[in-house]
Structure 1
Amino acid sequence: MPPTTRARSFDSAAAGYAANRPSYPPALLDAVEELPHRPISGARVADVGAGTGIATALLRARGAQVVAVEPGPRMAAQLRLRLPDVPLVLGDGDNLPLASASVDFLTYAQAWHWTDRRKSVPEALRVLRPGGALALWWNDSDSTIPWIADQDARLRRLFGADDIEPDPTARFRDLPAELDFATRQVSWTRNVPLDAHLGNLASYSDFLVLGEAGAREFLAAERELLAGVFPDGTAEERYVVSLAVARRLP
């Protein structure tokens, strides 16, 4: 299935995505500022692939002047409900609906891998001001935690993936060669009801293209397994955010 089709699959589950997807820790935005030595407060920021506005909200709370760029109308509608005063345009990273040299930060939260690098890299360089920064990050479950490793193995079997533990740093090996990236990893934890944990899983693109029946069967079995791990009904999720930041040279 083409990446664009998978990326647009989120539109069919926009409400569940908004309700259950994890946010990001404050230390992540600290690093977004530190690596390029540039403050977010007062900066003009375009958050691309903004989805329901999870990262957009954090950037605005840091004092950024944010514009959200999102290709999915239903995801954009959820963002509009959450952040009615944030400028929002429909579009994607391969053809940014932004003026040249118009932003100080261009951010992709969980979204860069959906782009065509032959198009998105020149577009990033076009819209960034001299000295501006491109920030890419991904939130991955921490598979060093035993229950998460077990769940990841079940997910790989379901989707026919390699039975190898994923390495979050592997994303750093596929960064655009045209840009000099600094990288960092940030660990964090959230505690959520099992319903929210399973709702987050259900919003993954793999489940959205699997179909309702297959997803329902897997998630029901998963609920039963996790009830034994978390008898109080609250899951302790641990994540590793992989961040890469590159500055556009003057």
Structure 2
Amino acid sequence: MASHANRARALSFDTVATQYAAARPDYPPALFAALEELAGHTLAGADVLDCGAGTGIATRLLRERGARVVALEPGAGMAAELRRAQPEIRLVRGEGDRLPFAAGSFDVITYAQAWHWTDPARSVPEALRVLRPHGALALWWNQADIRVPWVAAEEDRLAPFTRGFPTTVAELFTPYPVRVATREVTWSRRITVEEHIRNLSTHSHFVVMEPVERDGLLDANRAALTRLFPDGRLDEPYRCGLTVVRPNGSRRSR
């Protein structure tokens, strides 16, 4: 990972693993359809490495698409939650900067909400080493859709204490012999205000915050949302940015 501080922040999720599994959003079917289109082959029957698998949200969805999935996760707490929920999945402890796999092991490598915890100078060559010649590296993030007015207002309230992550990272791959394609999938889920607050509280900037400060911020945000949504329910909107990287020379599978 890029630095000691970055690594410590990434591993902070271990303290909220159960809540993370319950509160974080899934990913829409359209995302995996786009992944298959840009990768040039289906996930069904593919050997897939899900890096930074966390509690296994993407791991489960990839498996439901028919992939043979191996989950890679550095954090003990997150790995334990994944193992509890999906005992049938092969789980390996490790990091994207040093993949503990032989060259040419996987058809697809995925990073769902996790690439930003790596050092690209190491993780890019590692991914290309472990991919098969026809393979694809897929990176994606759910980002709150700030085009929606209430989300923009929430971002303004929390902006001094939070930071987003990129939806595309194509420029990182310029030095490498690869082709890069991007896609954005918009979607939303219907949840309660309290579920939304629990989701926010699993984000790393809140996890590492002093409890009094964190609780004060989230309580103020809860109050604002309760005034806006008096029935206690809201549509939580996302823009899911997908980047798919394929080695030059890879060909579409039939």
Does 1:35 find its partner at 2:32?
Answer: no
**Separation of aligned partners in 2, 1:122 and 1:175:** 11
3-state SS of 1:101 partner: coil
Whether the 8 Å contact between 2:120 and 2:172 is mirrored in structure 1 is no
Cα deviation for residue 173 of structure 1 reads 5.1
1:105 matches 2:108: yes
In structure 1, what residue type is equivalent to 2:211? E
Q: Is 2:161–2:205's contact at 8 Å kept on the other side of the alignment?
A: no
Distance 1:192 1:174 in 2: 35
CA distance in 1, matches of 2:7, 2:133: 30
- What is the one-letter code of the residue matched to 1:217? G
Deviates more, 1:174-183 or 1:148-157: 174-183
Question: Cα deviation per residue 1:98-140 (whole Å; 9 max; x = unaligned)?
Answer: 2210100000001111101111011101110111000000110
Structure 1 Cα separation of the partners of residues 110 and 200 of structure 2: 24
| 2:203 alignment partner AA | Y
Moved segments of 4+, more than 4 Å: 166-169
The answer on 1:157 being equivalent to 2:157 is no
User: Distance between the aligned counterparts of 2:226 and 2:32, measured in 1?
Assistant: 34
> Which sections of structure 2, spanning at least 5 residues, go unmatched?
250-254
Contact 2:170 2:243 in 1 (8 A): no
Report if the CA contact (8 A) 1:184-1:243 is conserved.
yes
1:114 to 117, 132, 146: 117
Q: CA deviation at 1:168?
A: 5.5
Matched to 1:23, the amino acid is: D
User: Which residue does the alignment assign to 1:180?
Assistant: 179
RMSD: 1.5
The residue that corresponds to 1:216 in the other structure is: 215
In structure 2, the partner of 1:191 is 190
The answer for the alignment partner of 1:2 in structure 2 is 5
Q: Which amino acid aligns with 2:107?
A: D
- How many residues align? The count is 244
CA distance in 1 between partners of 2:165 and 2:217 (Å): 24
Q: Cα offset for 1:180?
A: 2.1
Shift of 1:174: 4.2
Aligned CA distance change for structure 1 residues 80 and 176 (closer, same or farther; 3 Å): same
Q: TM-score, normalised by structure 2?
A: 0.92
For the pair 1:68 / 2:65, whether they are aligned, the reply is: no
Provide the residue aligned with 1:235 in structure 2. 234
Judge conservation of contact 1:3–1:114 (CA < 8 Å) in 2: yes
C-alpha distance in structure 1 between counterparts of 2:88 and 2:82, whole Å: 10
Deviation at residue 2 of structure 1 after TM alignment: 2.2
1:4/1:114 contact within 8 Å kept: yes
Matches within 5 A, 1:131-170: 131-159=134-162, 169=167
Tell me if the contact between 2:170 and 2:180 (Cα under 8 Å) persists in the aligned partners. Answer: no
- In 2, Cα distance between equivalents of 1:98 and 1:92: 11
1:57 aligns with 2:44: no
Query: Is the CA contact (8 Å cut-off) linking 2:105 and 2:131 kept in structure 1?
Result: yes
Within 2, Cα distance between the matches of 1:229 and 1:100?
A: 53
Percent identity between matched residues is: 50
Alpha-carbon distance in 2 for matches of 1:168, 1:148 = 17
- What is the distance in 2 between the residues matched to 1:235 and 1:155? 18
C-alpha contact (below 8 Å) 1:52/1:78 kept by paired residues:
yes
* Residue number in structure 2 paired with 1:46: 49
